[in-house]
Structure 1
Amino acid sequence: MHIIITDARGARTRALHLSGARLGLLCLGLALGLLLASAALYHWVFQKGAREGWPGVGALVRLASRDELEQRDRFLRDNLDAMARRLGDLQARLLQIEALGERVSGLAGMDPAELRARPGQGGALVDGPPLSLEALQATLAALERNAGRDADLMAVAESRLFDQKMKSLMVPTRTPLDGGVPGSPFGWRIDPFTGRMALHTGVDFQAEPGTPILAAAGGVVVALGWHPEYGNRVEVDHGNGLVTRYAHALRLAVHLGDLVRRGQQLATVGSTGRSTGPHLHFELLVQGVPQDPQKFLEAGRTPPPAPLALAAQRSRGQR
């Protein structure tokens, strides 16, 4: 496209050559300029009309503002309803955790009423006014406080259960021989060497020579080696004044001061010391006084009560 520009007297002329691309850019620039000018004028007119109360303009502004506010309120209500449903799910899960915590607290020796501090809720559904943001925030804050308290109680229960588990592993309730045949029990008997009545301070287990002798519970080896009456023996301290003794062994498999775990091999069955044949002489001492080991071994063979039954029993006992 060629555009020729001349002055009034035709003394000077100027020719402009516009290609298709330049013409398109020029048209686009003009359109954008008009659009921005129109937007600025629209904004100025509506602002000035709203401030000065021009007839018709103020009504249009209020109508547009009301539509915008209604859309915003509808969006907030939809989101609040979704959050309320999520909050209900969280509350239901928290109730399940509380029920589990009540059973666990009974096993840990805690008062199950500590987890029932909040009263139960229920009833028929009657819809009320829409949930506000403040009410939702208050409910979430209460839920956070309750969850934190329950987490602390569960941590205490876990600690107590772990302590009970460790104590149970330190109590000699495991049979020291796998497959051993019980022999002489604890108590008074006729001594096989003297023929007179004598106190048998342990229980005997008949077994083939070389049969592994196992620790009845975890502990520390405090005595080891030869004894004139017990022969090769191992003594394990389990804490709280509990000591087990394994006598007449053929070979020893631990060293003095070793930390042994429940069921670990200590020695092998033999007939050393004051013995008439291969067997294990197993003793249990409390504060240095011999006790009947069979009572502890029977306690280890008795299955513990079911968690639900134990929790219910504790609950009944606290009423």
Structure 2
Amino acid sequence: MEIIILPKASKSRNCIHLGGGALSIYLCLMLICILLIVYGAYCLGVKMQFVAQQQSLAQMKTLAEDWQATLEQQQVVLSTTLHQAEEGLGTLAQRVGHLQADLVRLNALGQRLIVHADLEEGEFDFTNPPAMGGPELPQIEESLKLNDFLATLGQLEQEMADRRQQLSLLETVLVERGMRQAALPAGRPVRQGWLSSKYGYRTDPFNGRREFHNGVDFASKAGTEIMAVAAGIVTWVGERSGYGKMVEVDHGNGYVTRYAHNQKNLVQVGESIVKGQPIAVMGSSGRSTGPHVHLEVLHEGRTVDPLRFVGTAKGS
């Protein structure tokens, strides 16, 4: 093979003679250079792609960490919200329980007062809502609806308002007929027994300190019947801290009596009782040193000396 080189500025010519072997080597070198360039470009592309993938993975990792932190914050907020909701629901449930207990007490009290007042049947009805009426006025429809729980609470509150209104009217009738005296505490809670502790400050039998005793104690043998000192409605039956087994009776006019440390209670919550009716059996439950009944008299929520009422009944 002959290669002729002709420069523009010169009319002479240079010739390079390549044999068959040299040409083959020359072509092989060119092919190797081309392959090296192609391989280098391929490696560079793979490296750039790897770097791009690593950057993308780092960005995804950072984003995932941000999402994880956001989810943890939302979880804390959700837990706090759920805790607050549970507390609010517990408060509402407790409110409903108090309303239901008050409603039972008011209904029983109303029925008892009707019987004692000797009113005509139907004049006061505590089993049905009070009679009322009036034309229906057009109202704009509301888009929000109360859930069942709030509807129940509202219904109970309305029933309580109705019962209070009825009892207020009934109380006026009873005042006119002189029925309040029948529900006033009077007499002893036991037929036989002796006064073992008075109302007021005393030396506590358990710790020896001077403490206030908010009732009077009548001691007798275990099993002695404990009687109600006035007519009323039973509002508490069961265990209470320090009192042991206890019965609480609401007599109206702001008066409430308690009979504590019983061996056994004989009445139920909501039951209407009369003066002298056995309501418990004497024992020594709770914070007690022996068989006796602890009698408390409360007026408008404050304790008063029961001995003011014990001697007001005949034979006491």
TM-score (ref. length: structure 2): 0.44
TM-score (ref. length: structure 1): 0.43
